[in-house]
Amino acid sequence: MVLKVYPNGDGVGVGNSLSLYLLSESNEKDYVRAKLRVLNQVPSNNVEKQVEGWPNAAENGWGFEKFIPLADLKDASKGFVVEDLLEVEVEIIAFSKTDSF
């Protein structure tokens, strides 16, 4: 699995959001359930969204054009970017090469 990140957005998120996608690097069909997170320095204020399906490398995979607004990332008081560092995390909950869950 690969995490594809568009720092200045993709699709309807261009110029206003961080876009995140999870995709398979192979041509095999891999079914995945995962959580994508943008971590925050303030505990319990992470932004988290779940994806589930057959991410396709030929497309953008599974994810979000508008994961989190760029305004929130640029606002130092929100705690997402500290010393020019943004932390993104992927948690694979389930993975299968044959069936959905």
- Please check whether residue 61 lies inside any domain of the structure: yes
What's residue 65's pLDDT?
94
pLDDT band at 90 (very low <50, low <70, confident <90, very high): very high
- Please check whether residue 15 lies inside any domain of the structure: yes
The pTM (predicted TM-score) of the whole model is 0.84
What's residue 61's pLDDT?
77
> What is the distance of C-alpha 63 from the center of its chain?
6
Q: How many CB atoms lie within 10 A of CB 36?
A: 22
Into how many domains does the chain fold?
Answer: 1
Instruction: State the CATH number of the domain containing residue 10.
Output: 2.60.210.10
| pLDDT of residue 73 exceeding 70 | yes
20-65 tens-digit pLDDT: 998 877 766 778 889 999 999 877 789 999 988 776 655 667 889 9
- Please check whether residue 49 lies inside any domain of the structure: yes
- Please check whether residue 101 lies inside any domain of the structure: no
- Containing structural domain, residue 68: 2-96
Which ranges of the chain would DSSP assign to H, the alpha helix?
A: 70-74
What's residue 35's pLDDT?
94
For residues 83-90, average pLDDT: 93
- Please check whether residue 14 lies inside any domain of the structure: yes
